[in-house]
Chains A and B, each alone.
Chain A
Amino acid sequence: MKNKLTNRKARKIKNLLAVWILLLPAVICMYLMVWRPSAMGIVWSFFDMKGFTPTDFCGLKNYIRVIKNTEFLPIVWNTVQYVFWSFVIGFLPPLFIAFMLNEIIHFRSIMRVLIYLPAILPGTTVLLLWYMIYSPDSSGMLNTLLAQLGLDPYGWLNDPNFVIIYIIIEMTWAGFPGTMFLYFTTIQGISPDLYEAAAIDGAGPIKLFIHVSLPQISGLLLLNIVRQMIGVFQTMQEPMVMTGGGPNNASTTVGYQIYQYTFVQGRVGQALALGTLTFVVLMIATCFYFKLNKKVEDNF
């Protein structure tokens, strides 16, 4: 009897061991790449940094320096503008394109591939390609188009008033196919019977859209609002590749400022402090996202 018990116990431990051996690599990788860096970033933002080594605890010094920097408010404002324009320009088109693609019967499969094209091209290449397209001299695509219309070349990304909008146009171009297909698969899942029943009751196309289609997809839309906000708020690579934050810091984002603090100006402590500030703001949004996600799953 006792023998049997120990045997069972041994088997249980063996099973536990086998399970954890499978799980451990992923846990270690997530620890090294996500959990520890996040914690380190917060803790070390309160330390004086010498190069990449933390030396002494210095309280809020890094934070005060970040906030007192005259660039701080304009950069936060820029980032907010990125988020704002990404909604104005980029939020609705994927939804409408997905709906229209669902209604079309002619050339549908060709269109599907063509619309997916920006997502096939590698991300960095798209960024660099748009950097060339926006080129302020006569070699850029848009200036070539202007020249065909007989107009002078225009500075595009050198125009501080509109540079954020131009970058958002690039981001939308690169990003909409993925979102579009996410919506498209959801829309395809809506049963045609629902439409037929509503149409028999006398609903026109617009009513069908509002009362049949939208309720099915509104959960996903809500989640995407938060997700897009969190994503765009962390924009860094776009200004880094396309403008270098210019002209005159007009397109610098919080993310790019962190990069500059670290790798250009050598102020690692301030980079960590700014990172922590952004992290806290985005964590609030993330918690909200999880709450919303739960609600959406319960309701839809």
Chain B
Amino acid sequence: MKSFSEKQAGILNSADLKSAKGKAFYWIMFGILVLVCITTIVPTLWMILSAFKTSKEMYTSISFFPKNFTISGAATHLAEAWNKLKFGRSMINTMIVAAGNALVSIVICGMAGFVLSKKKVEGTKLVFVLTIWTMMLPSIIRTVPQYMSYISFPFVIDDKWNYPLNINILDTYLPLWLGAAANSFNIILFMNNFDTVSPAIMEAAMIDGCSTFKIFYKIMLPIVLPVVVYVCIGAFNSAWSDYFTPYLTISNTDLLTTPAKLFMKKSDTNITANVYITGLMFSCIPPAIFFCIFQKYIIGGIAVGGVKG
């Protein structure tokens, strides 16, 4: 048990905590936090426990815990749910989307952030202002026109002009990747962090004859590695969290990502509640593993992520 004397001065300091009143105040706060933890754990735990219930138990049992839990029974149930929801395919798809998201975020947003921070030439100031506005522009107006442009990309068909170059990019991952590349938040994030890199490093490389692009990926990107990881995590999570864009743009069930598949199976009467909730549990596993690996970057990354316009 840690002792109160180790406590840094805050709203309560160690002198306060010697009195009964201070102690009570401290433990009340502690109790509230425990309650907060319980509210975050209980739904998650309910999901995991319900995943192992039988369909009948879901509706009749008032206990949180599955009856007759056996390892072999659970394994068959998991395998059955996995096959019934055809999860293997959608997991791979989500991985592909996530990898693409991460790649375009780092390359495209990284390059733009690099230029806006270190290579100010004519016109970059305007791009910077537009990027800031992009970050705050209400997205509500975009959904429909975006969808219209996916049907005939990159130009939009009008009655008068029929561009021969137009292609339909529905049923591909291009809309998702383009969305990840147009993330102005990431551009500003990269820019802010490149700002902290000393220009002397870049000048030295330039004197040695390094090209601009080489400076970017050989010198600048490794320096801001925590940001690269943070952006990767964001890109990965967005692929795992967003059902809406894939649901709109992808109709081929073989190409669906996990969240879109889960959303579409919601109203499928062939899938019982316990199988469905097992699917929900499966969809949490990759992000959970990711969190465990990169925990340091994620919780520390919020400091990295503080964006100043």
Contacts and interface: CB of A to CB of B under 8 A. Distances in A.
B124 A23 contact: yes
A120 B178 contact: no
Given A19-B124, A124-B262, A42 B44 contact: no
Contacts of A185: 302-303, 306
Nearest to B277: A132
Given A19-B121, A120-B287, A185-B306, A41 B145 contact: yes
Given A19-B212, A115-B36, A128 B144 contact: no
A69 to B, nearest CB: 17
A239 interface: no
A22 B288 contact: no
Contacts of A22: 111-112, 114-115, 119, 212-213, 216
B262 A141 contact: no
Given A23-B111, A55-B159, A138-B60, A33 B40 contact: no
A250 interface: no
Given A29-B108, A37-B146, A54-B158, A120 B291 contact: yes
Given A105-B4, A138-B60, A182 B115 contact: no
A52 B43 contact: no
A218 interface: no
B171 to A, nearest CB: 16
A234 B47 contact: no
B283 A268 contact: no
Contacts of A122: 237, 240-241, 258-259, 283-284, 287
Interface stretch (A57-65, A106-114, A154-162): A106-114
Contacts of A91: none
Interface residues of B, number: 113
A103 B149 contact: no
Contacts of A32: 149, 154, 178, 182
Interface stretch (A2-10, A81-89, A254-262): A254-262
> Which size class do A's interface residues fall under?
35 or more
B37 interface: yes
A152 interface: no
A138 B58 CA distance: 8
Contacts of B39: 173
B242 interface: yes
Interface string A23-58: 101110110111111101110100000001111000
B187 A26 contact: yes
Contacts of A205: 11-12, 16, 22, 25
A36 B145 contact: yes
Nearest to B142: A37
Contact of B157 (A36, A53, A258): A53
A15 B8 CA distance: 52
Contacts of B104: 29
Contacts of A213: 11
Given A104-B33, A141-B46, A259-B143, A19 B59 contact: no
8 contacts: A30-B134, A34-B137, A36-B149, A44-B145, A100-B29, A115-B36, A122-B283, A131-B266
Interface of B: 1-2, 4, 6-13, 15-16, 22, 25-26, 29-30, 32-33, 36-37, 39-44, 46-47, 50, 58-60, 62, 64, 104, 107-109, 111-112, 114-116, 119, 121-124, 127, 130-131, 134, 136-149, 151, 154, 156-159, 178-179, 181-182, 184, 187, 211-213, 216, 237, 240-244, 248, 258-259, 262-263, 266, 273, 276-277, 280, 283-284, 287-288, 291, 295, 298-299, 302-303, 306, 308-309
